[in-house]
Copies of this chain bind each other. A is one copy, B any other.
Amino acid sequence: MIKVGIVGGTGYTGVELLRLLAQHPNVELHAITSRGEAGTAVADLFPSLRGRVALRFVDPQTAALDRCDVVFFATPNGIAMGQAQALLKAGTRIVDLAADFRIRDVAEWEKWYGMKHAAPDLVAEAVYGLPEVNRESIRQARLVANPGCYPTAVQLGLLPLAESGLVDLSHLIADAKSGVSGAGRKAEVHTLFSEASDSFKAYGVPGHRHLPEIRQGLARAAGKPVGLTFVPHLTPMVRGIHATLYARIEREADFQSLYETRYQSEPFVDVLPFGSHPDTRSVRAANVCRIALHRPQGGSTLVVLSIIDNLVKGAAGQAVQNMNIMFGIDECAGLTQIPVLP
C-alpha cells in the first residue's frame, strides 16, 4: 500500500483527492493537514465522505508527512515550494497540484505569480506531470508538477498540431470555458452563487497565469516558440472545462488520423468521431479528456473541442494518475469511475 499524505485538504482539489484516494485499491491515507480545520473530522467538513474517510485534519506541524511515500500538495500557490526540500530529503515523493513547479523559467514564474520563488533549484528537477507527454520522466520523478486545468485541456487538444507543425503555430487561439469550481473553495464575491449563476463572462483576457504554462508545453512539443491567444470564461456550472481551439491549417493532412494515432495508447484521452460535439457532463467526475475535430465548411480553420472535468483530469485525477505512474502500479488504478450523467 502506498502511504499518502495530503497538505491542504479543505479545498475542492483536496476533497476530490480524498474521494479518489479513499476508493483507490493501493492507497492508505495517512494524514491530511489543515491549519484552519485541525482537529475537525474530515467527514464533518465534507459529509459526502461520512463512513469512508475516518481521518481528522491535523496541523501541518504534527502530521509526520515525512513518513509518507508520497505527499500531495492541494494548497494555494507558494506553499509547496517552501516545504518540498525537507520532504524530498526524507525520501518522500511529491505531487504538487498548485503552480509552484510548473514553469521552468523562474523569472517568468515570478512575474506571473507575483512572488519570489523559494526553491528555484527544485524547479529544474521537477517533472511536468502531463503523462501523455512525460510518462517516462514521471516514473522516476521525486517531484511532479501537476498541470493546471486549462493547460491540460488546451495542451491535449493542441499537442498533435504542435508536434506535427501542420498549422500556423504563431497564431493559435484557445477560447476556454470553465466551471466555477476552478476558482476554488474561497470566500469571494465574484464566485458567489448569485454572481456566477445564470450569467457568463470572460475574465483574465489581458493575461492569465495559465498562459505561460500552455505556451511552455506547446513550445516544447513544437520545438520552437508558439503564439497563443488564450481567453478563459466563467461558466455557470460546477465542474468542467470546454476548450474550443482554432488553428489555421498550413499543410493538408488527415487530422483525424493524426489525433487517433497520437492518443491510441492513452488510457485517458478519447478521440471522438470527426464532427462530434462533446458535452462536459460526459466526463463529469471522471479522469478523461475527450477531443473532437471539426473543419467548418471545409475551410482552412481547424476547430478542436477538448473537454475535461477540471477537478479530475484537470487536477486530482491527473495527480493520482501521476502517483500511479511514479509507483509503478496500474496507471488506471482508482481512476475507473464512469462519468456521472445526468
> A-side interface residues toward B, CB under 8 Å?
12, 15, 19, 22-23, 46-52, 171, 173, 175, 177, 179-181, 183, 185-189, 191-203, 205-207, 211, 227, 229-231, 233, 235-240, 242, 244, 246, 248, 270, 272, 275-286, 290, 294, 296-297, 299-301, 303, 305, 336-342
Contacts and interface: CB of A to CB of B under 8 A. Distances in A.
B231 A48 contact: no
Contacts of A236: 193, 197, 235-237
B238 A342 contact: yes
B231 A201 contact: no
A255 to B, nearest CB: 14
A290 to B, nearest CB: 7
15 contacts: A46-B282, A47-B272, A47-B290, A48-B339, A180-B193, A185-B194, A187-B189, A197-B238, A202-B242, A211-B297, A229-B246, A235-B235, A246-B246, A284-B340, A285-B285
Contacts of A230: 296
A296 B193 contact: no
A270 B49 CA distance: 12
Nearest to A49: B338
Contacts of A337: 23, 337
Contact of A205 (B189, B281, B296): B296
Given A47-B272, A275-B206, A285-B285, A22 B338 contact: yes
Contacts of A173: 173, 246, 301
A235 B227 CA distance: 28
Contact of A201 (B199, B279, B338): B279
Contacts of A19: 338-341
Contacts of A46: 282, 341
Nearest to A180: B193
Most buried by B among A192, A197, A227, A229: A192
A69 B256 CA distance: 42
Can you list the 10 inter-chain pairs with the closest CB atoms, starting with the nearest?
Answer: A201-B279, A199-B281, A48-B339, A48-B341, A180-B193, A193-B196, A47-B282, A175-B175, A187-B187, A205-B294
B244 A175 contact: yes
B201 A278 contact: yes
Given A229-B301, A229-B303, A198 B296 contact: no
A173 B297 CA distance: 13
A192 B185 contact: yes
A47 B340 CA distance: 11
Contact of A231 (B183, B197, B296): B296
A115 to B, nearest CB: 21
B177 A200 contact: yes
Contact of A294 (B206, B240, B290): B206
A157 to B, nearest CB: 12
A305 B338 contact: no
Contacts of A296: 205-207, 229-231
Contacts of A180: 192-194, 197
A342 B45 CA distance: 12
B305 A202 contact: yes
A336 B238 contact: no
A121 to B, nearest CB: 29
